[in-house]
Amino acid sequence: MSTFSDASGAIAPLPKARRATGFGGVLPALAFVAIFFIAPVAVLLLRSVLEPVPGLGNYAQLIGSATYLKIFANTFIVSGLVTVISLLIGFPVAWALAIMPGRLTSVIFAILLLSMWTNLLARTYAWMVLLQRTGLINKMLIGMGLIDKPLALVNNLTGVTIGMTYIMLPFIILPLYGVIRKIDPSTLQAAALCGANRWQCLTRVLLPLAMPGMAAGALMVFVMSLGYFVTPSLLGGTANMMLAELIAQFVQSLVNWGMGGAAALVLLVVTLSLYAVQLRFVGNQNPGGR
Amino acid sequence: MLLNFDRLGWWKYILLAITLLTAAFLLLPIVFIAALSFGSSQWLIFPPPGWTFQWYSELFADPRWLESAWTSFKIAVIVTILSVLLGLVTSFGLVRGSFLFRDALKALFLTPMILPVVVLAVALYAFFLRIGLGGTLAGFVISHLVLALPFSILSISSALEGFDKSIEDAAVLCGASPLEAKIRVTLPAISHGLFSAAVFSFLTSWDEVVVAIFMSSPTLQTLPVKVWATLRQDLTPVVAAASTLLILLTILLMALVAVVRKVLKQ
């Protein structure tokens, strides 16, 4: 058994021989993760350079085709749009939540958590119905006299962007809320005392201080959007495929493991490098969601 | 002054308006689906011409819906148990142990959280095709466990890090065996972490769609896969009824979490 000293830290521990302890505890999980996570993903990626013939042919095909390039473009454009809109809506909401009186804040937090926890398919289904030609949104817009003919809001990238923004909003509001709450109000008082007006306080004190949180949240939303499968395929329609759906298509309908693996590797590399950027510059944030 | 609500001046009203609109936006689909599930129109017209329980009776009359709900529940329960147990053992090793690459190993255990799920789904699909686990209960459990385990390890590790080990050591000094001290002193002290691990694991499995789409077979599918498959054909209000029940379950679970948190705090 270990001594008291290493728990409290008050007594300097005696120098002892470096010994591995506790490794037995992680062994079952390590074995599980190695067999059912690392190995399958590694094999999939290997197949991208081995099938149908060894080489980089799959990657050349992926980059060389206008169809696939359009899918990459779709994926990045939608993810970028979702990130920017989430940030534009999420910042004022997080700001308000950080300073608003308690009662209203807890109601809005409850709504945020409810929408986050509600089944993803239930939420996506709701948007499929809401955004239809005859759906509530179109009816309301026509009723308000803003448009004469129903807009095509679903089965295109507009639908995907609306649905994805809906899903991502809590993921940007919650971390931003944490960051803004930690800002010391006296820094803003000091700025005001030095003669800054409200606008200057916002752009030169509050926004820069919230920047790490905004960067972390934005990066997380962007990365999650890149790999999303369910919402884009239900709200996007077949003509506007995104990367995750392409991977699924290669494997399920075309049974082309080489191309599927290649597309998966592209997604994986982009995802992991963006996470590396995040870890390097803005510290760790726990992601979640599908 | 920007961080004082009362001294924001007219900016206050802009912030308030954006926040309330966003809250309405977040609530809209949830309320809308619940209302539609009682609407009498097959074509999901809102406001509906009348109100009915028809979609709920269709839902409960179809054995495939009930079957898939039962499958989902079974898988989620098994995944929860395994995830908490494995998470507990692993967390003890990660928090208390000292060995080479400990931090790297922890990062490795958490990677399934950041990996795009579709990559994992496709990879496991290929693997399970080969070893014959595709479309089986074990296949579902394993793949959902890969996704749930990181949440378990994270919750339990952080609870364990917050627990002062000298209390456990004191119990040993007072004559408890090391295992007894762990079970009777440490486990109750980290019960909030175990509870979060269980809730996260259950929800991860219960709500999981992407891996399940690849894992399912004609005879074995989870509730989300059944919803997915139905949605690809048409937007029947039966899905609205199923969705409303799922939303209800979410609210119940949230309430349960709030109550248990309160009890554990005392």
Q: What is the DSSP string of A223-287?
A: HHHHT--HHHHHHH-GGG--HHHHHHHHHHTS--HHHHHHHHHHHHHHHHHHHHHHHHHH-----
Give the total number of structural domains in chain A: 1
Q: Which of B36, B96, B119 to mutate to test the interface with A (most CBs of A within 10 A)?
A: B119
Q: What is the rounded average pLDDT of the residues A198-223?
A: 88
Contacts of B93 (CB under 8 A, 6+ apart): A22, A23, A24, A25, A26, A27
Mean pLDDT, rounded, of chain B: 91
Look at B11 and A75; give whichever has higher pLDDT. A75
Question: Which of the four pLDDT bands, split at 50, 70 and 90, describes residue B29?
Answer: very high
CA distance B260 to chain A (A): 17
Distance CA B152, CA B265 (A): 20
Can you give the pLDDT at residue A282? 66
Domain limits, chain B: 5-37, 54-265
Chain B, 64-83: which have a CB under 8 Å from a chain A CB?
none
CA distance A130 to chain B (A): 8
Would an 8 Å CB–CB cutoff place A275 in contact with chain B?
A: yes
CB contacts of B247 in chain A (<8 Å) are 118-119, 122
Chain A, 68-107: which have a CB under 8 Å from a chain B CB?
89, 92-93, 95-101, 107
Question: Which of the four pLDDT bands, split at 50, 70 and 90, describes residue A73?
Answer: very high
Cα torsion B38, B27, B151, B103 to 10°: value is: 160
Nearest to A190 by CA among A180, A205, A177, A178: A205
Mean pLDDT, rounded, of chain A: 87
Can you give the pLDDT at residue B71? 95
Lowest mean pLDDT among A144-148, B20-24, B83-87, B221-225: A144-148
**Closest partner residue to A118 among B86, B145, B250, by Cβ?**
B250
Per DSSP, the three-state class of A21 is: strand
pLDDT at B95 over 60: yes
CA distance A72 to chain B (A): 15
**Closest partner residue to B29 among A8, A126, A260, by Cβ?**
A126
Q: Which of A86, A100, A121 to mutate to test the interface with B (most CBs of B within 10 A)?
A: A121
Can you give the pLDDT at residue A176? 93
Distance CA B136, CA B143 (A): 11
pLDDT at A15 over 80: no
Please check whether residue A31 lies inside any domain of the structure.
no
CB contact under 8 A, A247 and B113: no
CB contact under 8 A, A126 and B98: no
Can you give the pLDDT at residue A284? 53
CA distance A257 to chain B (A): 9
Would an 8 Å CB–CB cutoff place B174 in contact with chain A?
A: no
User: What is the fold of B54-265?
Assistant: MetI-like fold (1.10.3720)
Can you give the pLDDT at residue A4? 41
pLDDT at A288 over 90: no
The amino acid present at A179, given as its one-letter code, is: V
Can you give the pLDDT at residue A286? 47
The shares of helix, strand and coil residues in chain A, as percent rounded to the nearest 5, are: 75, 0, 25
Give the residue numbers spanning the domain of A195.
Answer: 42-284
Q: CATH number for the domain including A142? A: 1.10.3720.10
Please check whether residue A4 lies inside any domain of the structure.
no
Would an 8 Å CB–CB cutoff place A202 in contact with chain B?
A: yes
Chain B, 92-151: which have a CB under 8 Å from a chain A CB?
92-94, 96-100, 105, 108-109, 111-127, 142-143, 145-146, 149, 151
CB contact under 8 A, A40 and B126: yes
pLDDT at A20 over 80: no
Please check whether residue A32 lies inside any domain of the structure.
no
Q: What is the pLDDT of residues B139-195, one digit of tens each?
A: 999 999 999 999 999 999 999 999 988 899 999 999 888 889 999 999 999 999 999
Can you give the pLDDT at residue A8? 44
CB contacts of A37 in chain B (<8 Å) are 111-112, 120, 146
Can you give the pLDDT at residue A287? 45
Would an 8 Å CB–CB cutoff place A120 in contact with chain B?
A: yes
Its ipTM equals 0.89
Lowest mean pLDDT among A181-195, A209-223, B30-44: A181-195
Lowest mean pLDDT among A16-30, A51-65, A190-204: A16-30
Lowest mean pLDDT among A236-250, A273-287, B87-101: A273-287
**Closest partner residue to B29 among A28, A130, A202, by Cβ?**
A130
Crossing angle (nearest 10°) for helices A243-252 and A257-282: 150
**Closest partner residue to A192 among B1, B44, B153, by Cβ?**
B1
Query: Could you tell me the two tokens for B49?
Result: 């011409």
CA distance A170 to chain B (A): 9
Can you give the pLDDT at residue A289? 38
Can you give the pLDDT at residue A1? 41
Please check whether residue A7 lies inside any domain of the structure.
no
**Closest partner residue to B109 among A29, A169, A287, by Cβ?**
A29
Distance CA B65, CA B70 (A): 9
Question: Which of the four pLDDT bands, split at 50, 70 and 90, describes residue B38?
Answer: very high
Can you give the pLDDT at residue A272? 92
Lowest mean pLDDT among A7-11, A241-245, A281-285, B32-36: A7-11
Q: What is the pLDDT of residues A181-193, one digit of tens each?
A: 988 888 888 888 8
CA A12 to the chain's CA centroid: 44
Can you give the pLDDT at residue A228? 94
Please check whether residue A111 lies inside any domain of the structure.
yes
Distance CA B169, CA B175 (A): 10
Q: What is the pLDDT of residues A118-158, one digit of tens each?
A: 999 999 999 999 999 888 999 999 999 889 899 999 989 99
Chain B, 6-35: which have a CB under 8 Å from a chain A CB?
8-9, 11, 14-16, 18-19, 22-23, 25-30, 32-33
Lowest mean pLDDT among A56-70, A74-88, B68-82: A56-70
CB contact under 8 A, A33 and B149: yes
Nearest to B155 by CA among B207, B126, B192: B192
Are B226 and B26 in contact, with CB atoms under 8 Å apart? no
Distance CA B226, CA B68 (A): 7
